[in-house]
Chains A and B, each alone.
Chain A
Amino acid sequence: MPGFLVRRSLTLLLTLVAASFLVFSITEFSPSNVARETLGAYALPEQVHLLYEKLQLGDPLLVRYVRWAGVLLGLRKDPLDNPALGLNIHDPKGPRYLGNFGYSTLFRVPVNQIIWNRLGNTAVLAGIAFAIIVPLSMLLGILAGMRPGSFLDRALSVASITMTSMPEYAIGVILAAIFAVWLKVLPGTSPLVGGTGWPLPSQFVLPVAVLVLYDSGYVARMVRASMIDVLNRPFVRTAILKGLPRRRVILRHALRNAMIAPFTVILLQINWLIGGVVVTETVFAYPGFGRMLLQASLFGDIALIEAATLIALVIAMATQLLSDIGYWLLDPQART
């Protein structure tokens, strides 16, 4: 196990370097540049040129990448954080520290000042959704998988396939139309601002509902398939033939084994909930990580995209590690 952890950490580090370089090199193909973005659309070409030169943006890609990595590791000062440029860019933590993601040209603040807050908001949304999705989809999947082909199974299958095949955007707009515009029982947007007549908890209901409706069906289908598979295994048949009550067969013998395959799928939902809920966050104006990443990408805000990519990668690798450990605990065969 310790050797495994070390190997995993090294892979993570390598992946981070490779991914950050890839994202960085994409800027080569984008026509915009940091100087233009910093000064805005209406700055004169002369002003842009001045800043372009001062920031040495004409240097080779690799040089600029190493420079960027140096700022991140706290070895160099952020070149934009320079009073001589007259840009009013100032990081309260100082121009040089470990974990300095630089300056967001879109939001015009240090990346660290915005990204953790957004990540926190998304974590709250994702946490609530996850806490509902997991038990709900497991319950539905187990119920459906216990008696494949039964009325309950068919009904659950049809419902979950329908919800999964509807785009999140459509679910969001339909829910908002019903509950916000027509019935007026819930707020139509979730900017997380109090005092608008709608208490904060009520602002979570619709975004969470969209995520739960969209995702539970998929996870439930996975649990169902695994349950059916396990129930057909010889050891279950043996247990039934031994004369154990059905309830005991399912809870003691089948369930644990049926959870091994969906466990990975369930943990993968965390990645989706952190980085992939762009649509839900946009529809409800939720100030989260996904919406921020979308805005940053459309704007070409390279510092923010880099930081978000690295953070999303770390989360992805961490959940993968978690799923490996879980697998290891659930499945004795994996321990050898």
Chain B
Amino acid sequence: MPSENENPNIRLLKKELAEGRIDRREFLRFATLLGMAVPAAYAFVGERPIRPAAAASAQGGTLRLGTRVKSLENPATYSWGGYDSNVTRQVCEYLTLTDRDNVTHPYLLEKWDASPDLKTWTLSLRRNVKWHNGEDFTADDVLWNLKRLTDPAVGSSFIGLVQDFLLKSVPNGTDKAGKPETKLVWWDANAIEKVDSHTIRLNGRVPQVAIPEYLFHYPALMLYPGDKGVFGAGSQGTGAFTMTDYQIGKIAAVRAVKTYWATGETTSWGGGPYLDEIQFIDLGDNMATGISAMASHQVDGLVVTDPSQAPALQAMPSFQLYKVGSAQCAVLRFHVDLKPWDNANVRMAMRLGLENAAFIELALRGLGTLGQDCHVAPVLPDYGKVPDIDRNVAKAKELLKEAGFPNGFDTELAVPSDIGWIVAQCQAAVEQWKAIGARVKLNVMPGAEYWDVWTKVPFGCTIWYHRPLGVMLLNLAYRTGVPWNESGYSNPEFDQLLNQAGGILQSGKRREVMQKLQEILQQDGPMAQPVFAESFTFMDKKVSGFSMHPTNYVFGNRLSLAA
């Protein structure tokens, strides 16, 4: 039903759907992103929203999950979505929620509206949300949180996402050596604006289609201003639980609150809580420990599972495997400013030297999907269809010869040791590259050490977690000069196409642009990327209501335990 004030972009999407240029899933993804209500969007395509399995009638009980209990004090600086934010998200909530199908829903928001030029986003808050102490959740709370998240001194990675949209660099005197310095400030005094008690407006500098997704970035939790940005046992929140126990490196426990504003909500994420308590128990980094703890039923499930743990857990009949396709991958990336990687032929030869399909077994024990050396996963809604890159040793050798390496060359690959499957991927790649004459020495280093040099090493293997859109990943990793462009890649044509992709809403057209971007990466790009890891984990069969989220998020209010 067309309405007068409907976003013209939504009208465009409807037209594209009618003409068969986009599929239903894609329509849902973009229509909801532009502020169309989820039930309305599903109704338009003639489907019902997917609901999680209705929680069993059993109520109460304590669920125990094996994880790492990291520091929770400062949510704005969380950097381990799967670990730290999973405890806090039971207590505090987000403005939006991106579900396992990459569809973004209003969460603490009732709805959002985007201006046709995608620069102005109006966020309308739900009116029935209350903090645990009974106070109303209002626009002032949101304003306080967004101000904090966009303050560079706070150090939140949220800034990286909205830097172009909300901030600008201004001169800030000179440093000791007399070099001019800059600092980031809001680009306009009204960049984030309170409209009324339940409405916030974001006035952006540039068009940005992914604002709702950004609001679900794991540090963007809505904290109670009175807690001054510090999270701990007893902190206020709007969520279904409150934290009762927190001992770093040991345990974090959350207990259900009596009055949760979303109890009885029939949205795909609301309802509950059904459990009395959730305990997050620290099991450390040792792979055998997770298996032992599951085997002796000390925990009912694991928050994050490594592929090396899968065979043992699959062999135990009381556990259920949950998995979902994701865009998580580890890119074998070359620093294009350094020899020999400045030569596109060498980079292409490295891609041709790998048998991508073999890595699904070798690195991921079957829990993965084929990569195409372009960092955009087919599960993402904006994926453009590109051909696979097959192994071709003869061609690779020829390219190396052209590049001046008729007898191959020696190099070193840096890899962080803390994620098991990444090391396995690198070991397998090193073996395969021998055939084309690339003699690669593996340098396995502690994760913390790697993260300090990840943008500097000539050749490294970096994990990139799931993002709900391919264009987000390409913007973060391959645009000229952005902070996380670890390869130093700079291609004006690529940047121009990225700008174009960020500004078009017509999905068919956008996908054409994405296809071109992916082709550039396949032919000229600064990395090889053989596989995408599936997100998966194991839960006891008595746990119900669980579904795997591509970023390992746990939504405790939906879970229950069978007696």
Q: Please give the residue numbers on chain A whose beta carbons come within 8 Å of chain B beta carbons, in ascending order.
A: 30-33, 36-47, 50-51, 53, 85-88, 107-109, 114, 117-118, 173, 176, 180-181, 184, 186-189, 191-193, 195-198, 282-285, 287, 291-292, 295, 298-300
* 21 A-B residue pairings within 8 Å (CB atoms): A30-B449, A31-B449, A32-B449, A32-B451, A44-B159, A50-B153, A86-B153, A88-B73, A88-B228, A88-B230, A107-B70, A107-B249, A117-B247, A176-B288, A187-B298, A191-B251, A191-B283, A193-B251, A285-B289, A291-B284, A295-B249
Q: B175 contacts A53, CB within 8 Å?
A: yes
Q: B62 contacts A191, CB within 8 Å?
A: no
Q: B295 contacts A88, CB within 8 Å?
A: no
B395 within 8 A of A: no
In chain B, positions 116-164 with a C-beta closer than 8 Å to chain A are 151-155, 157, 159-160
Contacts of B229 in A (CB 8 A): 88
| Bound-state Cα–Cα, A193 to B277, Å | 14
Of the residues B74, B279, B292, B298, contact of A197 by C-beta under 8 Å: B298
Chain A residue nearest to B251 in the complex (CB): A193
Q: A283 contacts B288, CB within 8 Å?
A: yes
B453 within 8 A of A: yes
Q: A282 contacts B298, CB within 8 Å?
A: no
Q: B77 contacts A40, CB within 8 Å?
A: yes
| Bound-state Cα–Cα, A81 to B132, Å | 30
Chain A residue nearest to B483 in the complex (CB): A44
Of the residues A50, A114, A188, A299, contact of B293 by C-beta under 8 Å: A188
Chain B residue nearest to A33 in the complex (CB): B452
Shortest distance in angstroms between A86's beta carbon and chain B's nearest beta carbon?
A: 4
Contacts of B175 in A (CB 8 A): 53
Q: A283 contacts B151, CB within 8 Å?
A: no
Contacts of B182 in A (CB 8 A): 46
Shortest distance in angstroms between A197's beta carbon and chain B's nearest beta carbon?
A: 6
| Bound-state Cα–Cα, A87 to B154, Å | 6
Q: In which size bucket is the chain B interface?
A: 35 or more
Q: B298 contacts A189, CB within 8 Å?
A: yes
Known: A36-B452, A88-B74, A287-B282. A107 touches B297 (CB 8 A): no
Q: B286 contacts A283, CB within 8 Å?
A: yes
Known: A39-B77, A44-B159, A88-B229. A198 touches B286 (CB 8 A): no
In chain B, positions 280-314 with a C-beta closer than 8 Å to chain A are 281-286, 288-289, 291-293, 295-299
Known: A191-B251, A287-B282, A299-B446. A44 touches B292 (CB 8 A): no
Q: B230 contacts A189, CB within 8 Å?
A: no
B541 within 8 A of A: no
Known: A46-B152, A86-B154. A32 touches B284 (CB 8 A): no
Chain A residue nearest to B286 in the complex (CB): A282
Q: A197 contacts B160, CB within 8 Å?
A: no
Q: B160 contacts A42, CB within 8 Å?
A: yes
Q: A195 contacts B62, CB within 8 Å?
A: yes
Contacts of B520 in A (CB 8 A): none
| Bound-state Cα–Cα, A58 to B227, Å | 34
B234 within 8 A of A: no
Contacts of A53 in B (CB 8 A): 175
Shortest distance in angstroms between A156's beta carbon and chain B's nearest beta carbon?
A: 30
Q: A188 contacts B296, CB within 8 Å?
A: yes
Shortest distance in angstroms between A94's beta carbon and chain B's nearest beta carbon?
A: 17
B79 within 8 A of A: yes
| Bound-state Cα–Cα, A176 to B283, Å | 15
Question: Ordered nearest first, which 4 A-B pairs have the shortest CB separation?
Answer: A188-B292, A108-B71, A40-B79, A42-B157
Contacts of A87 in B (CB 8 A): 74, 155
| Bound-state Cα–Cα, A192 to B229, Å | 30
Of the residues A40, A181, A196, A284, contact of B289 by C-beta under 8 Å: A284
